[in-house]
A and B are shown apart, each in its own frame.
Chain A
């Protein structure tokens, strides 16, 4: 099992269940229940979209799209496990679809170019650290889609292999295979960068 992301809030199933029930009840509380539910998960939605797309503007587009989709589809949810799975799945799929639609040219992860490496001299450690983090972000965004989803779910979101496999709608061995290849690619990219 991958380590849970440090500082990640736990998924509060009971509160989400309650909000989903209120949101789908058709009562006078429905609208506010949805808004509270969305705001509780807004950082998660945006974070996943950002790590998948690697671009803040694209992540914002995905997040807004997910908000509308969530409102339309909420009536079909039966519980928080369905909700959490659906939420992760829809954010990842929308993020990947957006990139496909825009035909974002993705370089292979081993193709981070020389010019990606900042020409810093002297003891500018912070610049170097930021550049390394930026290289990691871009190498993640350049992974093949299936590997990227597996890495984001397990390494960024801290899901277990089983949870991530359910979200990706594949078997756990298949998920682990994608994750293994993804990690290997990321390592190769960072090796080339340094």
Chain B
């Protein structure tokens, strides 16, 4: 068996057969341990070293394969600061005969954006407040006023979808989700399809559509 320098900086001695242990370690680390060449198929030194390296390296393959998820809420503090700078301001008020509560505009656009992103035919989408037109004084107000909200969507669609039908579907779905989750009345949903992407596929040919 080869010896490895204590610091890792010293190249290990060659095997008795002349093979370079670093090359064998690379073979294992790259997942090519089973791909033996003619020499390795005959050589007991190489076979023993590959087996030993495979055993010792296995925990690192396992480490690489272990799924790691960010803890819930990890970015909440950073995002709260950013939302204050770049998020929509204002509140909607949902009222019935006895009670009322406020809904932040940023919550409304978050619901709208997510509803759009999870719709079929959509690769990516974002929501924002639109503009509410008040016909009485003929003014244009911010996108959230009282119990009414106007929304805008910007969308990157999947290639191959009927864009008119996609826009209609998005209007209906986003309005329904926002109404159901916030209680606000959605007066308009303006949809802008700004790009079209082919469905992403990996080398395995599978659909890897992001959520």
A binds B: yes
Task: Find chain B residues with CB under 8 A from A173 CB.
Answer: none
Does A42 contact B75, Cβ atoms closer than 8 Å? Answer: yes
Binding stretch for chain A, among B37-45, B58-66, B94-102, B178-186 = B58-66
Instruction: Give A56 to B71 CA distance when docked, in angstroms.
Output: 9
Does A136 contact B63, Cβ atoms closer than 8 Å? Answer: yes
| A185, CB-defined interface residue at 8 Å | yes
Does B60 contact A32, Cβ atoms closer than 8 Å? Answer: no
Contacts A109-B8, A132-B59 given; does A47 touch B86 at CB 8 Å: no
Please count how many residues in chain B sit with their CB below 8 Å of the partner chain's CB atoms: 60
Among residues of A, the one whose C-beta sits closest to the C-beta of B21 is A184
Does B78 contact A60, Cβ atoms closer than 8 Å? Answer: no
Does A6 contact B78, Cβ atoms closer than 8 Å? Answer: no
Instruction: Give A140 to B66 CA distance when docked, in angstroms.
Output: 15
Q: Which of A29, A71, A158 has the most CB of B within 10 A?
A: A29
Q: Of B63, B71, B75, which one neighbours A137 at CB under 8 angstroms?
A: B63
Contacts A6-B64, A43-B69, A64-B74 given; does A15 touch B124 at CB 8 Å: yes
Q: Of B7, B30, B194, which one neighbours A1 at CB under 8 angstroms?
A: B30
Does A15 contact B123, Cβ atoms closer than 8 Å? Answer: yes
Q: Of A18, A47, A110, A147, which one neighbours B68 at CB under 8 angstroms?
A: A47
| B70, CB-defined interface residue at 8 Å | yes
A94 to chain B, nearest CB (A): 13
Task: Find chain B residues with CB under 8 A from A186 CB.
Answer: 57, 60
Contact with B along A60-85 (1 / 0, CB 8 A): 10011001100100000000000000
Does A71 contact B30, Cβ atoms closer than 8 Å? Answer: no
Please count how many residues in chain A sit with their CB below 8 Å of the partner chain's CB atoms: 66
A25 to chain B, nearest CB (A): 9
Contacts A3-B30, A32-B126, A42-B70 given; does A155 touch B86 at CB 8 Å: no
Residues of B1-53 whose CB lies within 8 A of A: 4-9, 12, 22, 25-26, 29-31, 53
Chain B interface (Cβ < 8 Å from any Cβ of A)? 4-9, 12, 22, 25-26, 29-31, 53, 56-57, 59-60, 62-71, 74-75, 77-79, 81-83, 85-88, 109-110, 113, 117, 123-124, 126-129, 152, 154, 156, 194-195, 197, 200, 202, 208, 210
Can you name 25 A-B residue pairings with CB atoms under 8 Å?
Answer: A2-B29, A5-B65, A9-B208, A10-B202, A18-B197, A28-B152, A29-B126, A29-B127, A31-B82, A32-B127, A35-B79, A36-B117, A36-B124, A46-B69, A56-B71, A63-B70, A67-B79, A109-B8, A140-B63, A155-B60, A180-B22, A184-B4, A187-B56, A188-B6, A190-B57
Using A31-B85, A47-B68 as known contacts, list a sample of 5 further A-B pairs with CB atoms less than 8 Å apart, ordered by residue number in A.
A40-B210, A42-B75, A137-B63, A147-B8, A186-B57
